[in-house]
């Protein structure tokens, strides 16, 4: 009996790390990501919300221009409209939403921003608890931070009518191949990725990604914000490097 008890304890100890991860206590590799980011040119901030709901951040409330990650807010804002939320989406709706998200079309985003106006956009930001958000025109200069964007993506379906959830998630998981860089290049077996990138005309001045990854009932949200990078190519290498380190121990 004593020998059986000792064996049982050994088995439980061996299983403990896997159980801990599966139970939602996974932690991002923050130290590694911070060290890497400090070796890169430009200014980097990021935040991660773990499956347990715990938030980890490095310079998480650094305010930056939103660029095209703001389009994920425009997506929710459009679908929340009283005139849209309870009806089937039509061809006109899809002709704006699909290009805005899948290939980051600016004209479609401007048309949606014009239609929504500041009140609806600010209402969404307030509902999402974005205390540092400031809406302005042009919309790409609106102010965001990594912490609030990670939280927004972690709870994204809260801000999208249930009728339109599947379509919104389809768009965020079907970004065109030419824009699938950074976190999209990180090997993540069995995890589904939903994300939006934002960048400043290919210069490296602004380069962000906000995403959530999902596996079964577990979700991880990541927001990485980069400004003043030497070039667009350099910035997307930094995005991938930070994301790779943050997510390196995914189960």
| Average pLDDT per 10 consecutive residues for the chain, totaling 251 residues | 44 40 76 98 98 97 98 98 97 98 98 98 98 97 98 98 98 98 94 96 92 96 98 97 95 78
Q: Which of 92, 216, 214, 89 is nearest to 163 (CA)?
A: 89
Please check whether residue 43 is in contact with residue 244, taking contact to mean a CB–CB distance below 8 angstroms. no
Q: Which CATH architecture has domain 28-246?
A: 3-Layer(aba) Sandwich (3.40)
Write the pLDDT tens digit of every residue in 70-101: 999 999 999 999 999 999 999 999 999 999 99
Write out the two tokens for 29.
Answer: 């590799």
**pLDDT tens track for 173-212:** 999 999 999 999 999 989 999 999 999 877 899 999 999 9
Tokens representing residue 134 in the block:
């400031």
Distance, CA of 94 to CA of 99 (rounded, Å): 8
Question: With DSSP H G I counted as helix, E B as strand and the rest as coil, what are the percentages for the chain, rounded to 5?
Answer: 55, 20, 30
Q: What is the pLDDT of residue 25?
A: 83
The structural domains of the chain, with segments of one domain joined by +, span 28-246
Contact 222, 55 (CB under 8 A): no
Tell me the pairing of strands 43-49 and 218-227: antiparallel
Which burial class, exposed, middle or buried, applies to 239 when counting CB atoms under 10 A from its CB (0-12, 13-18, 19+)? buried
> Regarding beta strands 218-227 and 64-65, do their DSSP bridges make them parallel or antiparallel, or are they unpaired?
unpaired
């Amino acid at each position: 009996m004593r020998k059986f008890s000792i064996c049982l304890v050994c088995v439980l100890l061996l299983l403990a790390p896997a159980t801990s991860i599966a139970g939602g206590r996974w932690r991002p590799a923050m130290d590694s990501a911070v060290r890497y980011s400090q070796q890169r040119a430009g200014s980097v901030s990021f935040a991660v919300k773990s499956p347990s709901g715990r938030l980890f951040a490095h310079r998480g409330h650094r305010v930056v221009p939103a660029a095209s990650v703001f389009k994920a807010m425009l997506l929710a804002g459009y679908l929340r409209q009283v005139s849209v939320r309870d009806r089937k989406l039509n061809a006109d709706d899809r002709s704006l939403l699909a290009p805005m998200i899948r290939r980051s079309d600016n004209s479609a985003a401007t048309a949606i921003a014009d239609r929504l106006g500041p009140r609806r956009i600010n209402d969404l930001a307030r509902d999402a608890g974005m205390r540092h958000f400031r809406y302005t025109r042009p919309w790409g200069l609106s102010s965001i931070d990594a912490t609030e964007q990670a939280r927004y993506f972690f709870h994204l379906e809260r801000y999208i009518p249930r009728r339109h959830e599947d379509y919104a998630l389809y768009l965020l998981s079907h970004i065109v191949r030419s824009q699938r860089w950074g976190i999209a290049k990180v090997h993540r077996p069995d995890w589904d990725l939903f994300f939006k990138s934002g960048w400043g005309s290919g210069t490296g001045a602004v380069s962000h990604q906000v995403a959530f990854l999902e596996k079964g009932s577990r979700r991880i949200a990541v927001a990485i914000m980069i400004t003043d990078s030497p070039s667009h190519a350099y910035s997307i290498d930094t995005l991938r490097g930070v994301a790779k380190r943050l997510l390196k121990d995914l189960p």
